[in-house]
Amino acid sequence: MPVWTHDAATVRKAELLILGGRSEVVYRWLKSRPGDPADERALIFLKDVFVLLLRQNAQSAILAAALKAPVDELFAVVPSYFAACVFLHRRQFETGFALLDAFRNRCLENLEYLPTEDADGFMVLFRHALLLSDDRYLEAPYYQDHRAINEAKLDQIHWVTLPPDASSEGAIETQPIILVTCDQKYAELFLARFLESIDSFCSDRLIHIHLIDPNEEPPRLEALPFLTRNRVALTWERSGELKCSAYYASARFVWMGEWLRYYRQQIMTFDVDVTLKHPVELIDQAMGDADFGCFRWDYPSPCSAYLATVTVFAPTDAGREFATLVRNLILSKMSLKRPLLWLIDQAALYSAIYVLSEKAGRLRLSDFTQRIGIQHIDFLEFCDPKIDKLGLMKQASSVGEEDEHTMNGNHS
């Protein structure tokens, strides 16, 4: 190996050594270089190497490298995380989560090493902190405390336009509700187009719009198109100290339990920056009598397996339990540094599905990809790729989220 550098050629050489079954050469080189072996540069270098391995699906090489890694913090954290991703991708959940649990506490401390300007870098090591292996996770004092802290920061839901015939006990709807949440900027860019699309592909539905941090209190709907086939309800909130694009993406799940109690009907959520290609009745049929449904994506990262782009929650006991667990997971993580929050909603969905469906068997899950026979990108059309969504996300955060990036089909 050459003298210490962190460039593409050196990363590639380390990658080839690991692919050739010689990961110990890479570890020896990193440990022998000048400076503290646990410093930021070595951590990021090793992480970059494993990112390349994961991207080319070199799963066997990743597992072999993890077995050879020395047991000190630096070399246990990076290979073990990627090995856990391989096991989770293979749906060997017990093995994967056991591996994550083995270094969870040490790895949380190492999150501080991750640079905020590295779009790929920070996403690799933080995800284990957003996943859980069973429901004891939320009993730990750290997570209980942070859930309570962030719950106290929440505003209340402010109603502007109530559904027709709504009573103090809640509105009873005959068809699933369609829910979309967004901040003021996304509303200005995408909401009109989304509503026109919905009005073309369904009828006799209640479209619930939830605005976060609107310019006016209460917000007004004069600029939005008049719906000819559906009705509208409007709510809003202030995000306060939780203000960031990750909360904007997650708010629909934070409040889902309350909306389920109010409507007593299935609630279908959409990202606002999409338009439909097919009638929503396809989703109704795919949902059936399940407690929760969404599209699945065959992707190595656990946090991209269950997509938040289109989801349906049912007002069953298991559906409400699932909504509560997703809410608690999101709120328990909102104290993390803002750049580490990207994909927090999909990480929460993945973890809650694992606990309540895979492990406890209490949640009936509908995989829309399997039941409809198409991918999410075939059911929806996403916003104009020329729109600077990264810039919008930066504007949405009070602390700046330079390292967040968009993935086709994730969320606003």
pLDDT digits (tens, 9 = 90+) for 110-127: 444 444 443 443 344 455
Give percent helix, percent strand, percent coil of the chain, each to the nearest 5.
Answer: 55, 10, 35
Q: What is the rounded distance in angstroms from the CA atom of residue 211 to the CA atom of residue 255?
A: 12
More confident residue, 86 or 91: 86
325 membership: H or E segment, kind and range: helix 317-333
Please tell me the predicted confidence (pLDDT) of residue 403: 33
pLDDT category at 368 given cuts 50, 70, 90 is: very high
For the cut 80, the answer to whether the pLDDT of residue 79 exceeds it is yes
pLDDT category at 396 given cuts 50, 70, 90 is: very low
pLDDT digits (tens, 9 = 90+) for 138-157: 777 767 888 999 999 999 99
For the cut 70, the answer to whether the pLDDT of residue 293 exceeds it is yes
Phi-psi region of 7 (alpha: psi -120 to 50; beta: other; left: phi over 0): beta
pLDDT digits (tens, 9 = 90+) for 242-269: 998 889 999 999 999 999 999 999 999 9
With a pLDDT cut of 90, the percent of the chain lying above it is 49
pLDDT digits (tens, 9 = 90+) for 326-354: 999 999 888 776 656 778 899 899 889 98
Contact 345, 411 (CB under 8 A): yes
For the cut 80, the answer to whether the pLDDT of residue 172 exceeds it is no
More confident residue, 102 or 334: 334
How confident is the prediction for the chain on average, in pLDDT? 81
Please tell me the predicted confidence (pLDDT) of residue 114: 44
DSSP per-residue letters across 160-180: EEPPTT--TT----SS-EEEE
Pairing of the two strands 267-270 and 231-237: unpaired
Ordered structural domains, the chain, with CATH: 8-130 (no CATH), 141-396 (3.90.550.10)
DSSP-derived 3-state class of residue 159: strand
